[in-house]
Amino acid sequence: MIELDEQVAAVWRAIITDGDGVWLADRIANFGLIHDSLGKVLSEKARTVRERAFQTILKNRTYHGGILAPGSAPLKSGENGKGIASRWYADTLKKRILAINDIRLRLKFVEGDGMEEVRKNAHRRDAVFFVDPPYTAGGKQAGRRLYTHSELDHEELFKVISEVTGDFLMTYDNTDDVRDLARRYGFDFELVAMQNTHLAKMTELLIGRNLDWARSARKPPGAGGL
């Protein structure tokens, strides 16, 4: 796993690298979430990676759309008028973190540039890459609002991915620019349904060398077709 954003990276470092998953899960489960306690924790300077990880999760679950980028702020009304508690599912978060903690020795986390890591491992036939870049291709603004590190040379990313020996799967915004890039590099692509943070139905692209498996998975049992 590779992540450049230091806030998100702190979560994965705490759980995978430092073995602080149990501490983090218990901190979440025992935290009394109110505006005062949220403000107090987020106003403090994190002294350790695990403290920064806890702050990151707090922001992700209480800020508008889970956005960590500068300018974001805590929810006011939230879902069903629950405000900052709208998306604070402490028990669920605890279970997910402990599940990752149970397999952390099988995982490796790298805090750095994902494109550089792909370049380093491009020669490996046993490597399969999953790439989920910021959605900023074609001048789209969603990725710029969501991420601190949103600037990306999408043309260069497609070039780098085209040179890997192993397989890959990319998820991308459904735009003309992205489809043109996929065609230019000879990649297969398939439209899939998704929901955004406001539960609006949207579409995005899966991009790979061959996505017949995705099309087969969506075909009803017994259905024919070309």
Task: Determine the pLDDT at residue 80.
Answer: 56
Exposed/middle/buried for 97, CB within 10 Å: 0-12, 13-18, 19+?
A: buried
Q: What is the chain's Cα-based Rg?
A: 20
pLDDT in tens, 195-208: 655 555 778 999 99
Rounded (10°) angle between helices 49-62 and 35-43: 140
Q: What is the spatial distance between Cα 129 and Cα 37, in angstroms, rounded to a whole number?
A: 40
223 pLDDT more than 80: no
Banded pLDDT at 78 (limits 50, 70, 90) = low
* CB within 8 Å of 179: residues ≥ 6 apart: 189, 205
Between 153 and 137, the more confident residue is: 153
How confident is the prediction for the chain on average, in pLDDT?
86
The residues facing 3 across adjacent strands are: 111
For residues 185 and 106, is the Cβ–Cβ distance under 8 A?
Answer: no
**φ, ψ of residue 195 in degrees (nearest 5):** -120, 140
Banded pLDDT at 59 (limits 50, 70, 90) = very high
With left for phi above 0 and alpha for psi between -120 and 50, is residue 128 left, alpha or beta?
beta
Exposed/middle/buried for 38, CB within 10 Å: 0-12, 13-18, 19+?
A: buried
CA distances from 202 to 89, 141, 205, 213 (A): 25, 16, 11, 22
How many CB atoms are located within 10 Å of the residue 118 CB? 19
For residue 149, the one-letter residue type is H
Q: What is the spatial distance between Cα 162 and Cα 181, in angstroms, rounded to a whole number?
A: 11
Two structure tokens written together for 221: 């049992």
Task: Determine the pLDDT at residue 226.
Answer: 31
Q: What is the spatial distance between Cα 104 and Cα 21, in angstroms, rounded to a whole number?
A: 9
Two structure tokens written together for 194: 């998704």
Banded pLDDT at 86 (limits 50, 70, 90) = confident
Span 136-146, average pLDDT = 55
CA distances from 21 to 29, 82, 108, 127, 215 (A): 12, 28, 14, 27, 37
Domain boundary assignment for the chain: 2-106, 120-218
